[in-house]
Amino acid sequence: MERPRRLRSPLLRPLVAEVELSPRHLVLPLFVKAEGEREEIASMPGVHRHPLKDLPRLGEEALKAGLGGVILFGVLPEGEKDPLGQGAYAEEGVVQRAIRLLKGEFPELLVMADTCLCEYTSHGHCGVVREGPLGFYVDNDATLELLAKTALSQAQAGADVVAPSAMMDGQVRAIREALDRAGFSHVPILSYAVKYASAFYGPFRDAAASAPQFGDRSGYQMDPRAGLWDALREADLDDQEGADLLMVKPALPYLDVLAALKGRFAKPLFAYQVSGEYAMLKAAALKGYLDERRAVLETLYAIRRGGAQGILTYYALEAARWLQEG
């Protein structure tokens, strides 16, 4: 009689386990603002908008926890936004200042920068908005120049990795060419290659004040109803254009896509456990419906099993602590 239970004894389980999860696999997203005090995000309990003065403490925490790194998202007051998102590529932009601060104090900390415009545009879209016969549209090619400027400004500030997330066709090529021309050929690109128009981004838009003021982003983000062909095509294009790492976003609803990409590309795969995934787990835990520690670690193991070598998650510091506690 077959007895799979024979391999599940307390002494044998660790030996036959295939999926490893450690703090080095986790990247912590940080919402950064220029001034003021730390503010908790109502839809993401435990997650905050941090002023620049908080960053030395957070950098030290990330290093002590053994995290793989951090990724920065800028938060601007409404009055500082404009139609072209100039705060995204300003030399003294909040993310550029944050990069310089973190890399100055912690050169050994991996600092990634989200490369997009939505947090900085007055309309909340990820690019240059035009009026067309059917209403508004985002001008893909006009946006490429601004994304390249943003990535270059982040690299000049000292970012270890730039991470374009706008889902504009050709954005990886435009950024790679701009970085190479300026002498930053050593800076890798983590592409949000497979990014769906998802309901799970709601709390993030709260946190970064980046919700579209009209319409939605389905014209440039991917359709959740599309087949695997769409994900493969997007990943293949970014691969050819020079991405060094590829990412699937969100994570849990698209584990099938993540698993399908694994092995098809000779590049590391990442996944983003997004704000809505965090908010669901946190809300259920606060209600007592789930054991938070077990549920969170189970989801992270699932993402690793699906093929992600790195995971962006708001639970990074807590998960690292839980893993270290055993």
Q: Which residues are catalytic?
A: 195, 249
Q: Supply 281's token pair.
A: 């787990």
> CA-CA distance, 274 to 202, in Å (whole number)?
9
Q: Supply 53's token pair.
A: 């003065």
Question: β-strand 44-51 against 310-313: which pairing, if any?
Answer: unpaired
Q: What is the Cα Rg of the chain in Å?
A: 20
Strand spans (E) along the chain: 26-33, 39-41, 44-51, 69-74, 111-115, 128-132, 135-139, 161-164, 190-195, 245-249, 269-273, 310-313
In whole angstroms, what separates CA 157 from the centre of its chain?
19
Q: Supply 261's token pair.
A: 């990409």
Q: Supply 106's token pair.
A: 């912690």
- The string over 279-304, giving b where at least 16 C-beta atoms fall within 10 Å of a residue's C-beta and e elsewhere, is bbbbeebeeeebebeeebbebbebbb
DSSP 87: G
Task: Give the DSSP letter string of 43-86.
Answer: TEEEEEEEEGGGHHHHHHHHHHHT-SEEEEEE---GGG-BTT-G
Residue labelled with tokens 């893993």: 323
